[in-house]
Amino acid sequence: MGKRPAESRLRAGLPAPLWRWIFHFEAAIEAAVEDFAHQLPAGARVLDAGAGEGQYRRFFPKQSYCGIDLAVGDAAWNYSGLEVRGDLAALPFGNASFGAALNIVTLEHVTEPARVVCELARVLAPGGRLLLIAPQEWEEHQQPHDYFRYTRYGLQYLLQRAGFSGIDIRPVGGIFRLVGRRLLNAIQFLPLPLAIVLFLPLAVPGVLLPLLDILDTRRNFTLGYICYAHKES
């Protein structure tokens, strides 16, 4: 998914708590990656599969980080910091090469997701940990390299089929947070005069609706899923 220019400008201009509230999915991703990194031992080899520009590298100063990407997702991105350019469906690493792996909002961009998840399992050492995050209700992005959206059941199937266990899949927000985010998204499509008129009618409920998310206990409508798993020993 990556950071878009408009999002980066908003992040710079908004107070951090407000940015985290509005960009809940992105904030949840960063929090999950940071927590994942803190649980890994120093020196552990970590594969960021689908690293993009390597924006999560900063969370792994004590580990040995390796970012790989096919480098075709966004022509405006700078891929020069990647350790490896390669296909996630045929990872150029030996079996059991890494103690942990990330796959962050990348599985929707690969044409063979089952093969990619199997490759992640192959290069993980026994007991190795995986953090996989995938969008569910999200706009098309990085076109034309945007192929799939996943339910929690689809993700569980892919992970189990690849030999992962201890699978924990967590939805990021419910319907009220989802609708609130989409109301805020809608503002960008309005011509300037109409945007001025409708800004508050769209922005106020967009910001306040997530307060009702506690009412959605099923979370069948969600922005995406954060998945934890490990390779069986």
Rounded distance, CA 231 to CA 162, Å? Answer: 9
Q: pLDDT digit string (tens) for 167-180?
A: 999 999 999 999 99
CA dihedral 140, 142, 143, 147 (to 10 degrees): -60
Q: Is the pLDDT of residue 226 over 80?
A: yes
Give the pLDDT score at 78.
94
Under 8 Å between Cβ of 157 and 212: no
Query: Roughly what angle, to the nearest 10 degrees, separates helices 113-123 and 152-161?
Result: 50
Indicate the average pLDDT of the chain: 94
DSSP letter for 41, please.
Answer: P
> 111-157, pLDDT tens digit by residue?
999 999 999 999 999 999 999 999 999 999 999 999 999 999 999 99
C-alpha angle 146/149/153, rounded to 5°? Answer: 150
Q: Is the pLDDT of residue 44 over 60?
A: yes
For residue 212, give every residue at least 6 positions away whose Cβ sits within 8 Å of its Cβ, in sequence order, or none. 176
* 144 preceded by a cis bond (ω within 30 of 0): yes
CB 93 within 8 A of CB 123: yes
CB burial readout 109-132, b (16+ within 10 A) else e? bbeebebbbbbbbbbbbeebbbbb
Tell me the C-alpha distance between 55 and 191, whole Å: 33
From residue 179, alpha-carbon distances to 127, 170, 174, 195 in Å are 38, 19, 9, 18
What torsion, rounded to 10 degrees, do the Cα atoms 139, 187, 6, 192 define? 140
pLDDT > 90? residue 12: no
